[in-house]
């Protein structure tokens, strides 16, 4: 008596799981155009160690300048440094 009910419940569960798998496999991932510096071949991601307090101060200042981000600031500073070294 209970065996039949258990078998029917398992069959029903199996069918719904198969339907869910089929629906998931039908979903196509959204493709979007690669944008940003990460995908730009003219840019290279690098790392550097700086003091926490310096970084926090810079972040506060950059919040007041929404048109400039940390990467742009580092690029500007490194370019200035290079220009000064080349003048010597």
Integer Cα distance of 52 and 58 in angstroms: 10
Position 32 in a domain: no
Q: What angle, 0 to 180 degrees and rounded to 10, lies between the N-to-C axes of helices 52-63 and 70-87?
A: 110
Query: How many domains would you assign to the chain?
Result: 1
The pLDDT of residue 29: 72
Q: What is the per-residue pLDDT for 17?
A: 58
Q: Are 35 and 50 in contact (CB under 8 A)?
A: no
Q: What is the rounded CA–CA span in Å between residue 15 and residue 19?
A: 6
Which helix (H) or strand (E) segment is 64 a member of?
Answer: none
User: Mean pLDDT for the chain?
Assistant: 83
Instruction: Tell me if 31 is assigned to some domain.
Output: no
Domain of 60 in residue numbering reads as 2-25+40-87
Please indicate, yes or no, if residue 73 is contained in any of the structural domains.
yes
Q: What tokens does 6 get?
A: 């258990």
Q: Determine the pLDDT at residue 44.
A: 93
Residue 34, domain member (yes or no): no
The pLDDT profile of the chain, 88 residues, written as one tens digit per residue, is 677 777 777 777 766 655 565 565 567 777 777 778 889 999 999 999 999 999 999 999 999 988 999 999 999 999 999 999 998 7
In this predicted structure, what is the pLDDT of residue 37?
87
């Amino acid at each position: 008596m209970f065996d039949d009910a258990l078998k029917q419940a398992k069959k029903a569960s199996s069918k719904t799981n198969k339907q869910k798998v089929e629906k998931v496999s039908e979903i196509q991932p959204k493709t979007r155009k690669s944008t940003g510096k990460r995908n730009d071949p003219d840019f290279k991601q690098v790392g550097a160690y700086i003091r926490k307090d310096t970084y926090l101060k810079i972040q506060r200042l950059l919040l007041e300048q929404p048109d400039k981000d940390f990467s742009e600031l580092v690029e500007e500073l490194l370019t200035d440094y290079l220009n000064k070294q080349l003048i010597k």
